[in-house]
Structure 1
């Protein structure tokens, strides 16, 4: 395959989105639209990607980083004008250039690869990605000659009744001979109602010069969807979610209710894992084999081992081992680490804490800024008191320790190996190995006290 370059059109403001967020940064399944596009283009092993930026340029650059070069379109004067901005980076290079809109998040590597191969096979100077649309209203129609080559693109408003009956439409994605593209761009005029420079005019210029223009029709119209408003954004989300869920199911994952399961594009799930409804998996989360996730659980940027269960709970930016049982209604906050066989039960919150193998906090506890060893039992209502209003402090609970119910561990403090803390204690000093700490007021019974404070019956 020849050298491949790519230009991503991402300079438009997107006023129809009615949003403060730059259009191509609106997420689809948790990832900005333009990043979906660059992910798929990167699968072609391109020599160079150039993203045309305008409104929100710095935010787009921050999102994509060094995965692309950039060219600034200070004024939005049309799609041809946008591509011209890449001249300094691409003009004169041998190969073909893909031009793709940054608001087409559903386009796939395989489709663009087929487009390039068709372009090379036909020897065309330009190849248009087309699709069959049952309702083509509003789209430019592809008019072909007897030999199958493209004679012209006619916009809907300019089309005759016969031309409007054509259902092959222009998707706005193109493959050009790179040198021919930048030569033709010099001749594009803005003599139209909008006073803008349009990329489809390059097709007419090449045709007039006697050059071959072809078209490749993709089988999936949905893949070419451009997102211009919130309605289209919702449709792209639905289609992307269905694609992702199907990929996981075909790879051996059980998704009980795909329409109510939300999995990000970078999530990895092992075989025979079961995902229940209402579950949201996002970021670079990886789930092992034979797990049960959900219902109604959220897992983001976590690594989860095998055979782990997470029910009606939330976990973020944490390491979770194998055979771990979480929930219901537990909260695993960032920078936590749970080793194998750990149990985190209902209404337990873990924050920046590590739990060793086999340890458990079964209910109603807050364990923050803590290092918990293996085989530790933390009783109901335990709190690691880690914050003095200014700084956070570490609580250390060593292997085999037992923390009784309703205990406060005032950090910094250590409960040594095998030690016990009696229920209801407030611990401020180190508890030695194999000892029991009792830190609570002695019980005093006031005989006949109730009779003294209540009025006597008449």
Structure 2
């Protein structure tokens, strides 16, 4: 688009259809709120649409609308379709929310989450083409046309739209299929919808009929064809949800490697929608990234780790078998090893916890060493408390740091200690019961038990 393009200057509204009951999902969760890569599918769609800076966003809901209202908040106006009489009828429900709006309208589907911003822009650009089409339809050519509605077109101009159930054999032979997505000017949209009837096999008001009505008026209707059929794949079942997740993960892995990360076994690495990996990051087998993770250049994530809501800085080593929970921050060249869990805690530069440790609600100073089996006892049953460990402190194995507590710089906590009071800088803290020594006691015990066992035979 040029700076003076009408498509660039005209305001935009999006209408997302999400009124279906989603019965094939067999779920109490609204269909469009089912996550892909840790993000509800409707959020994927709205994020792409947001790149076009829409002035208004309307979501047409029916069953489960309360869930949509809670999830979307004030980011979209919820229009209600009840009863549900087809896609044309669904779009009509957005008329009130678009009252007084003069611009372009993109009609999208909440269960078709991966339409790119580039495709949306192409539709809007075509709407402002020299022939000024009344409607722009997004079409695709799948490997198998199945039950999709058909777009009968010549040279990019739509001659007819027909649902599969109403199509002739000749029309079904056409491989150009309707995605359902459309772009229409607001000044024309609702006038066209008002003329849609329901004399069809389903007895519904089809959105596609606005194309046939505009054609009958002598108007031009245009088609934009996406080269990627996966972009417009709908999700209606758990199986289709899993397939969408698989496709998304495959593409994300390819992107990660193209951007300079090493994935030792790419098919076993699972990303979230917002995972950020730097250059020369190495990710070994069976690593899962939940939402909110960033990993800086040169870090190594060893096998079987799970990260969520964490920031990993350059040169850090994690795992194997480590878990980083929300609020975990590992600064440059720090390390957590096998079976270490970190939650809402910072490990400063060079700090390390190599084995079997829980660090929750903690601040671990630069160069500190946390011995195997150490835990920060951060919860008293009612409130969370913080543990602060100073620079270069050494925490011996199997220690319990009972928060709130501070361990000073260069301090040493002896192995097996349960520390409930602050430890000063450079201090040794040893908290153990006195060891009793009874020579020969174990031998006498074993002899007695062996005699007793023999008497029972």
TM-score (norm 2): 0.88
Map of 1:128 onto structure 2: 137
1:374–1:400 CA contact under 8 A, matched in 2:
yes
1:244–1:264 CA contact under 8 A, matched in 2:
no
Map of 1:398 onto structure 2: 390
2:430 counterpart of 1:445: no
1:106–1:236 CA contact under 8 A, matched in 2:
no
Once the two structures are TM-superposed, the CA of residue 26 in structure 1 deviates from its matched residue by 1.3
Map 1:425-436 onto structure 2 (within 5 A). Answer: 425-436=417-428
Map of 2:310 onto structure 1: 302
Where 1:89 maps in the other structure, the secondary structure is coil
Where 1:348 maps in the other structure, the secondary structure is strand
2:41 counterpart of 1:33: yes
Once the two structures are TM-superposed, the CA of residue 441 in structure 1 deviates from its matched residue by 3.0
2:394 counterpart of 1:382: no
Structure 2 CA distance for aligned equivalents of residues 123 and 428 of structure 1: 76
Structure 1 CA distance for aligned equivalents of residues 376 and 311 of structure 2: 25
Equivalent position to 2:162, from 147, 154, 159: 154
Map of 2:22 onto structure 1: 14
2:302–2:319 CA contact under 8 A, matched in 1:
no
Structure 1 CA distance for aligned equivalents of residues 422 and 311 of structure 2: 33
2:135 counterpart of 1:143: no
Equivalent position to 2:195, from 175, 181, 187: 187
Where 1:414 maps in the other structure, the secondary structure is strand
2:283 counterpart of 1:291: no
Q: Deviations over 1:140-167 (max 9, x none)?
A: 122235x652221122233333222211
Where 2:97 maps in the other structure, the secondary structure is helix
2:193 counterpart of 1:201: no
1:91–1:182 CA contact under 8 A, matched in 2:
no
2:417 counterpart of 1:408: no
Equivalent position to 2:331, from 300, 314, 339: 339
Map 1:231-310 onto structure 2 (within 5 A). Answer: 231-306=239-314
Structure 1 CA distance for aligned equivalents of residues 350 and 229 of structure 2: 52
2:309–2:328 CA contact under 8 A, matched in 1:
no
Structure 2 CA distance for aligned equivalents of residues 397 and 51 of structure 1: 50
Query: Structure 1: which 5+ residue stretches go unaligned?
Result: 307-322
Structure 1 CA distance for aligned equivalents of residues 260 and 378 of structure 2: 43
Q: Deviations over 1:236-288 (max 9, x none)?
A: 22222223223333322333333332222222222222333322223232221
Map of 2:320 onto structure 1: 328
Structure 2 CA distance for aligned equivalents of residues 173 and 160 of structure 1: 23
Q: Deviations over 1:418-457 (max 9, x none)?
A: 3323333333444333332333233332233345444489
2:262–2:281 CA contact under 8 A, matched in 1:
yes
TM-score (norm 1): 0.88
2:92–2:190 CA contact under 8 A, matched in 1:
yes
Once the two structures are TM-superposed, the CA of residue 15 in structure 1 deviates from its matched residue by 0.9
Once the two structures are TM-superposed, the CA of residue 172 in structure 1 deviates from its matched residue by 0.7
2:310–2:326 CA contact under 8 A, matched in 1:
no
Map of 2:178 onto structure 1: 170
Query: Structure 2: which 5+ residue stretches go unaligned?
Result: 1-6, 452-457
Map 1:215-234 onto structure 2 (within 5 A). Answer: 215-234=223-242
Structure 1 CA distance for aligned equivalents of residues 102 and 35 of structure 2: 35
Where 1:259 maps in the other structure, the secondary structure is helix
Question: 1:251 and 1:176, CA in 2 relative to 1: closer, same or farther beyond 3 A?
Answer: same
Once the two structures are TM-superposed, the CA of residue 411 in structure 1 deviates from its matched residue by 3.5
Q: Deviations over 1:12-49 (max 9, x none)?
A: 11111121111111112221111111111111222222
Q: Which stretch of the first structure deviates more once superposed, 398-407 or 177-186?
A: 398-407
Equivalent position to 1:421, from 413, 432, 455: 413
Structure 1 CA distance for aligned equivalents of residues 205 and 221 of structure 2: 20
Where 1:196 maps in the other structure, the secondary structure is coil
